[in-house]
Structure 1
Amino acid sequence: MSLRDRVSARTPRLTRRLPDATPRSERRRRLARHLRRGAPAAVPRAAQAHIYLSTRWLSAFLVAILLIVLYLFLTHEAFLVQTIYVGGTRYLSGGEIFTRTGLIDPENPTRLTHLFWVNPAAIERRLEADPSIADVTVELGWPPMMVQVSVVEREPVLIWEQANLRVWVDASGRVMQLRQDLPNLPRVVVAKPSRTLNIGQCPLQGTEELLGPGSCIDLKTVIGVQQFKALYPNVDELVYDSAKGLGYRDGRGWMFWFGDGTDMLTKIAVYNEIVRQVYERRGRRFLEVNVSDPDAPYYSLAR
């Protein structure tokens, strides 16, 4: 045996271990077979631990939180409507508005309404049923300004006195409760109340009956009062007769009847001409002058 052969036999053969060329999918299949056989799977040291939370537990937790919030909302006194914020009023007080909202029981003031049960639309309808209120807006919020009420009141244009009761009347003829004395408003007094109801939209006008909610004054009559007041600002009181209409006691001692606001300027011109011809030229005094129909005026003279 040659020297080269002896050296080769003594020296171990050095081999280099190549990296594992097994595909990743093959390694996964081997691991799966290992697990099915019951062998423990090797977990790499660098693998991170994962915590899995069931969605059912998370949903139950959220439901519990919501129930607690709902309980506090329904039971806490901070959400009980004890006061309201009212704006836009001139004649009505905040207490009157609060009472008419229905949120408080006048017989049991300690019984309060929860914010959850407040119905803004129902409150608006209830307040707008009041003849003194033209429009209402109700808004809800969080404490302390939970209920906010904005009111537009009807403005009175005259005072109507019938059956010893004075009421306000607005520009559309709606009768309202008189709440305070306004000296700038003209006053109309029913001189001879009728015992029979009128035929028309305002059957109680000029009768012995009391005027209340739902009552009205004829629009032509209201316009007549406004026009006469504009022409004679110093006149504070007019008279109403169910047959003759509106009238004014002339300072010279007689009644001047002009009916309503129709053709007011023509009626005034006819009246002035009659006074000029009869009173100023002839010196005769009247008992009354009626120009309700300017085409057919008439008068009666004092003896």
Structure 2
Amino acid sequence: MADDTIASIIPLHHAPLKKREKKAARSGTTRRRKKKATVVAAEEAEGAESFLPSEFLIPPEFLPANDVAGELPVPSTPAPADPVQAGAAPPRRHLAAVLLSIAALALAAVGITINGWFARSLGSSDIAGWLFLAVGVAADLVALVMPSCAAGLWHSGQRATALVGWAVWVMTFVFAVTAGIGFASTNISDVTIARASRMTPAVASAQGALNDAMAARDRECKSGVGKFCREREAAVVERRQVLDSAMASVGQSADAQSDAAIKLVTWISGGMLRPKLEDFAMLRLILLALLPQIGGILLLVARHSATNSAA
């Protein structure tokens, strides 16, 4: 009776066990196939080159049926870093900051040279000249670096010190601009005078005609003042006016830039604006004196641009 009971119990429990094993094997095989297909599809979509584990190289039907371990590791490729989140500076803004810094240093070098040369020319002796040179160079260096220092102090909360720095910069900037005005005016006037006094064919012809008229007058008026003497004197006056007119024409062409600018402004405005020669000369003088002294401002802008592009 016991044997019949045991025999009847074993088949009842043995058959479901085989079914569960087969089901587990099929589910494990199906899972591995799905996992392998997912990994292959991910690699084809992302174009990543990675090495698969050895389990992916074995067909599922050759794997053990009871191998229902955890899921296989899925190879992953690191996501590309965002250049903005990684802190990489945009190339264009970084290049603009570099070029602006180079321009600021170039203008600063020109300004230092101008101020040093003009300050030294004011000395009555060699020692005084070198002392003026030192003052001019030091003042221009202060005008170059003080804007960046004052702006940094202002942002760090030291407002009083920053205001003192800006006040010092204003003094050195005005000093540098006045030195630039002296340098530009001296050289421009020398060049203009040299150009105005040059001998042109018109001036040479007028000068020769005047000399002949003066010689004829002297011969005619040697014996006394008469009708012919007065005619020769009038001829001398006429030849002198021609010479003055020729020399004035040369003087006007000595500053061809101002003359062309005046004509251009008059043409653009339709004759409503007619600036004089002195107006454009003053504008040019201000620009020539001011531009070499703005290196400090350009350096400040370049510094802030580089900081913002790196942020």
Give the TM-score range, shorter chain. Answer: under 0.3
Bigger relative contact order, structure 1 or 2 (CA pairs below 8 A, ≥6 apart): 2
Q: Which has the higher strand share?
A: 1
